[in-house]
C-alpha cells in the first residue's frame, strides 16, 4: 500500500477507476464530476465529504472498507497485507459493493486518495507521527500509569504511533479569503461529524493558525498535531502525580516527495516551529530529564537493548527510583503483555551528570505477543525520593522485519518478458509455514500475482521465488512485494524499474 502517495498538482493522474455503469448501488462515484483547471484551486467544498465517508462502511452506506484494530483478521485480509488500493476497489465492485475486510488508517487514506484523484481532485496522503486522538475536545490527552509503569485505561484519549489522512487541493468559497489550498480529509472512522463518520475538509492553514471556529472539524485535527499529553502516575494510596509533555504530539508530519521515493516533511504547514513563540504549547524541561534511546539492531527474532538516559541538571546529588517497563503494542496505542521490566530502587545521580541504564528485551519474551505493527512500547518512570516528583518518558520501538530482495533478470523493455527473483531470509529460530509472495506493479504485471511456497522455510534459510511478467508500459515503474507466513506477516519490499520503450 503506497500510503504516502503524492502527485504534483499540475499532473493529476488517476490510479484506479471504476466505471459508473459497473456498480448500481451507491451513486457516489457517479454523481461527482469535476473538470480541473490546472494552476487553480478546485472549487468543490461540499463534494469531497460525500466521497470520504463512503470509503468506510460505518454509516451502513455500502462503503468500501471495514475497519478492524484487534489483530484478528481471519475472515478477511490483514490491513498490513495490502499493496495497492486498486485491488481493494476491484474486490468491492466484484462482491456487489460489500465492504472489503479490513482496513486501518493508511488503507482508508490510500483508497480515498485514489478515488479523489480519479475524480480529478489533486490529493496526497499525509502521515502524522505521535498523533493525538482527543475524545473530549479539551486539547489534553490524559494517560494513567501505575507505579510500575503499566498503563491504566481510565480515558478514551489515545496517542497513536502514527495516523494517516488525505489532503486535497481546492478552493473554499464557503470561508473567508485565504483558506484555499490543501484541505485535510480523514476517512478513518474515528468520530462522527454532522452525523457521519467523516473528518474535514479542514483548511491546513486554519489548523496552523488555530482558527478553530471554521468548518470542518478543525478542533479535532488541531488536537491531533498539538494536544498536550498529561501522564498521571497513580500511587498505591490512590493519589496521583502529574507529568506534562507539551511537545511530543504532531511530529514529522510527512508525505511522499514528488517524483521520488523520499519523505517530504510538511510539519511547518500544520504548526509553527518550537522556539518561535507562535507554537501551541511550550515544553518546560525539569531539573531531571529522562529519555529512552535504542541500541543498534532491533531486528525481528533478535534480543536488543533499550537505554534510559537520565540527566541531573542541578548542582546537588539526587536519589531516585527508576522503573522500566516494556510491552508489545499496536500503532493505535493499545498495549499487550509485558516483555521486559527493571526496577532500580536507588539510582544516585551526581550533580550535572548523566546515567545510562539498559533494559534487555528478549525475543523469547516478545516474539509470541508481537502484533503485526511490530511495536514495543517502553515506559521509563523516574521518581525522586526527596520531592516525590515524577518524570515519564515513553519510546515506541519498531522491530525491523527482514529485507525483501528483488533482482530483475533480463533487459527491461516494453512488451518483452522479464523475470523478477524475489527472496527473503527467515530471521527466526522457528520455521515459517504457509509462505507466499504477492507481487504487483502498475504497467508491469497484469494485476496481482501470487507465488506460494510448497515447503516451510527453515530457520535462517532463504525463501526464493521467480516471477515472469511482461511490462506493458514504458518509463519508471515500481514493483511492490508483500510476504506473508504464519509467523512473519506484512513484510514489504519494492524495486524501481526503468522500462525502455519498444523499438519502432
- Residue in 118, 133, 157, 163 annotated catalytic: 163
Half-sphere exposure of residue 202: CA atoms within 13 angstroms, side-chain side = 30
Residues 341 and 326: beta-carbon distance below 8 Å:
yes
Is residue 491 packed enough to be buried (19+ CB in 10 Å), middle (13-18) or exposed (0-12)?
Answer: buried
Which position has the grid cell 515447503? 455
Residues 52 and 183: beta-carbon distance below 8 Å:
no
Distance CA 377, CA 398 (A): 9
Burial pattern 338-377, b for ≥16 Cβ within 10 A else e, equals bbbbbeeeebebeeeeebebebebebebbbebbbbbbbbb
- Residue in 23, 97, 105, 320 annotated catalytic: 105
Strand, coil or helix: what is 298? coil
DSSP conformation class of 223: H
- Residue in 134, 180, 186, 228 annotated catalytic: 186
- Strand-pairing partners, residue 192, are 197
Distance CA 208, CA 280 (A): 9
Q: How far is CA 466 from CA 70, 188, 197, 406, 452, in A?
A: 34, 37, 43, 10, 11
261 included as an active-site residue:
no
163 included as an active-site residue:
yes
460 included as an active-site residue:
no
Three state DSSP letters for 347-390: EEECCCCEEEEEEEECHHHHCCCCCCCCEEEEEEEEEECCCCCE
Distance CA 225, CA 247 (A): 10
- Reading the block at residue 30, the C-alpha cell is 457517479
Which position has the grid cell 479539551? 138
Catalogue the active-site residues. 105, 163, 186
Amino acid at each position: 500500500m503506497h500510503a504516502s502517495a503524492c502527485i504534483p498538482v499540475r499532473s493529476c493522474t488517476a490510479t484506479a477507476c471504476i466505471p459508473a455503469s459497473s456498480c448500481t448501488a451507491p451513486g457516489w462515484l457517479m454523481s461527482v464530476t469535476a473538470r480541473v483547471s490546472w494552476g487553480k484551486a478546485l472549487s468543490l467544498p461540499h463534494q469531497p465529504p460525500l466521497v470520504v465517508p463512503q470509503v468506510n462502511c460505518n454509516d451502513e452506506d455500502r462503503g468500501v472498507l471495514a475497519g478492524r484494530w484487534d489483530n484478528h483478521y481471519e475472515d478477511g485480509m490483514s490491513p498490513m497485507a495490502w499493496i495497492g488500493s486498486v485491488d481493494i476497489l476491484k474486490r468491492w465492485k466484484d462482491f456487489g459493493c460489500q465492504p472489503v475486510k479490513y482496513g486501518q488508517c493508511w488503507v482508508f487514506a490510500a483508497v480515498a486518495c485514489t478515488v479523489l484523484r480519479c475524480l480529478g481532485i489533486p490529493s496526497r496522503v499525509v502521515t502524522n507521527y505521535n498523533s493525538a486522538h482527543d475524545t473530549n475536545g479539551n486539547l489534553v490527552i490524559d494517560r494513567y500509569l501505575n507505579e510500575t509503569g503499566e498503563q491504566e485505561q481510565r480515558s478514551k484519549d489515545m496517542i497513536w504511533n502514527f495516523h494517516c489522512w488525505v489532503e486535497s487541493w481546492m478552493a473554499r468559497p464557503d470561508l473567508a479569503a485565504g483558506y484555499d489550498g490543501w484541505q485535510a480529509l480523514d476517512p478513518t472512522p474515528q468520530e462522527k461529524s454532522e452525523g457521519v463518520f467523516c473528518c474535514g475538509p479542514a483548511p491546513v492553514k486554519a489548523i496552523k493558525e488555530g482558527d478553530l471556529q471554521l468548518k470542518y472539524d478543525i478542533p479535532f485535527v488541531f488536537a491531533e498535531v498539538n494536544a498536550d499529553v498529561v501522564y498521571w502516575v497513580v500511587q498505591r494510596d490512590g493519589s496521583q502525580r502529574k507529568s506534562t509533555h507539551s511537545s511530543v504530539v504532531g511530529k514529522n508530519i510527512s508525505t511522499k516527495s514528488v517524483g521520488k521515493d523520499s519523505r517530504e516533511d510538511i510539519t511547518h504547514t500544520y504548526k509553527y516551529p518550537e522556539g518561535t513563540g507562535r507554537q501551541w504549547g511550550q515544553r518546560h524541561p525539569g531539573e531531571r530529564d529522562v529519555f529512552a534511546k535504542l541500541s543498534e539492531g532491533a531486528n525481528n527474532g533478535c534480543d536488543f537493548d533499550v537505554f534510559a538516559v537520565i540527566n541531573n541538571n542541578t548542582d546537588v546529588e539526587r536519589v531516585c527510583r527508576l522503573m522500566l517497563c516494556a510491552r508489545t503494542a499496536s500503532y493505535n496505542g493499545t498495549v499487550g503483555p509485558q516483555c521486559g521490566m527493571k526496577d532500580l530502587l536507588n539510582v544516585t545521580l551526581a550533580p550535572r551528570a548523566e546515567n545510562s541504564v539498559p533494559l534487555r528485551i528478549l525475543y523469547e519474551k516478545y516474539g509470541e505477543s508481537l502484533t503485526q505493527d511490530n511495536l514495543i512500547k517502553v515506559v521509563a518512570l523516574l521518581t525522586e525520593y526527596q520531592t516525590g516528583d515524577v518524570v515519564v518518558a515513553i519510546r515506541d520501538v519498531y522491530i525491523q522485519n527482514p529485507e525483501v530482495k528483488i533482482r530483475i533478470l533480463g533487459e527491461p523493455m516494453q512488451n518483452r518478458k522479464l523475470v523478477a527473483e524475489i527472496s527473503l531470509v527467515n530471521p527466526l529460530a522457528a520455521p515459517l509455514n504457509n509462505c507466499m509472495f504477492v507481487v504487483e506493479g502498475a504497467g508491469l504485471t497484469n494485476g496481482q500475482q501470487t507465488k506460494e511456497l510448497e515447503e516451510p522455510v527453515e530457520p535462517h534459510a532463504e525463501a526464493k521465488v521467480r516471477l515472469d511478467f511482461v511490462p506493458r508500459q514504458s518509463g519508471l515503474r515500481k514493483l511492490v512485494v508483500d510476504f506473508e507466513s504464519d509467523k512473519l506477516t506484512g513484510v514489504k519490499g519494492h524495486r524501481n524499474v526503468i522500462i525502455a520503450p519498444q523499438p519502432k
